[in-house]
Amino acid sequence: MDILLIEDDPETALYVTEGLQKQGHVVHWAPTGNDGLHSARHRPFGLLIVDRMLPGIDGLSLVRTLRDEGNDAPILFLTTMSGIDDRVEGLQSGGDDYLTKPFALVELQARVAAIARRTAPAMAITQLQVGQLHLDLIARTAYREGKRVDLQPQEFKLLEYLAQNAGKVVTRAMLLENVWNLEFDPGTNIVESHMSRLRSKIDRGYPAELIRTIRGSGYILNGF
């Protein structure tokens, strides 16, 4: 993660920089409030670590300015101002966390890691692999042992749901709700007919059946 450290004390800056670099972060140091404001305006950062007592524009004003300009980067205050009112003021100005000096490096590292987890974008799942079976969720294609299996859209959706729940028994009611968006049983064999066609396409010609019927319970997809 790219981190902007706005800290006027060179020793503290070096201590923080070396500690965060050990975790794989890239740290950019700004020794004044004005330098930090300029850097934050001209480059996106994953996190800003800001001292409150800075030469030039102070940390609190800096954060308020950035928030007013629409900068939503996470901000961690790192400061000697440890009073309750100081903490509240820092958080109300737009800070996301507040750590007082002196501090333990391991706590700073842990707080930075926590912020990184909270702000990391969710990774969209685009592939599913269940044993011999491979699904490409973008192209909406399925393969068994590398051979393309031609499926209709609803058959693929059915297989996708089974793959997402591989190794678990899924009931008829679960399939109706999650594959057909039906919260009631239509009283037809819609599930059974689609499952029969899907099984014939997935398992035909192979010694092992990937899709099995669990009598009285539902269906299960195993990768073997």
- pLDDT at position 179 over 80: yes
Checking phi first, is residue 145 left (phi over 0); if not, alpha (psi -120 to 50) or beta?
left
Share of the chain above pLDDT 90, in %: 70
Which strand (E) or helix (H) includes residue 131? none
Query: Strand 127-130 relative to strand 133-136: parallel, antiparallel, unpaired?
Result: antiparallel
pLDDT at 201: 95
Arithmetic mean of pLDDT, 108-118:
89
Q: Which domains does the chain have, with CATH numbers?
A: 2-119 (3.40.50.2300), 127-221 (1.10.10.10)
Q: pLDDT tens, 197-224?
A: 999 999 988 888 999 999 989 999 986 5
Q: pLDDT tens, 35-83?
A: 999 999 998 899 999 999 999 999 999 999 999 999 989 999 998 888 8
Which strand (E) or helix (H) includes residue 3? strand 2-6
**Confidence band for 117, pLDDT divided at 50, 70 and 90:** confident
pLDDT at 52: 92
* Neighbour order of strands in the sheet with 133-136: 127-130, 133-136, 141-144, 147-149
Arithmetic mean of pLDDT, 94-115:
91
Closest alpha carbon to 62 in 119, 4, 147: 4
Higher pLDDT, 1 or 195: 195
| Whole-number average pLDDT of the chain | 91
Other Cβ atoms within 10 Å of 172 Cβ, number: 15
11 within 8 A of 39, measured Cβ to Cβ: no
For the ranges 17-21, 44-48, 66-70, 116-120, the lowest mean pLDDT is seen at: 116-120
- pLDDT at position 121 over 80: no
- pLDDT at position 124 over 80: no
- pLDDT at position 31 over 70: yes
Dihedrals phi, psi of 208, to nearest 5 degrees: -105, 135
DSSP E strands: which ranges in 16-84? 26-30, 47-50, 75-79
- pLDDT at position 122 over 80: no
Query: What tokens were used for 195?
Result: 């499952």
pLDDT at 182: 87
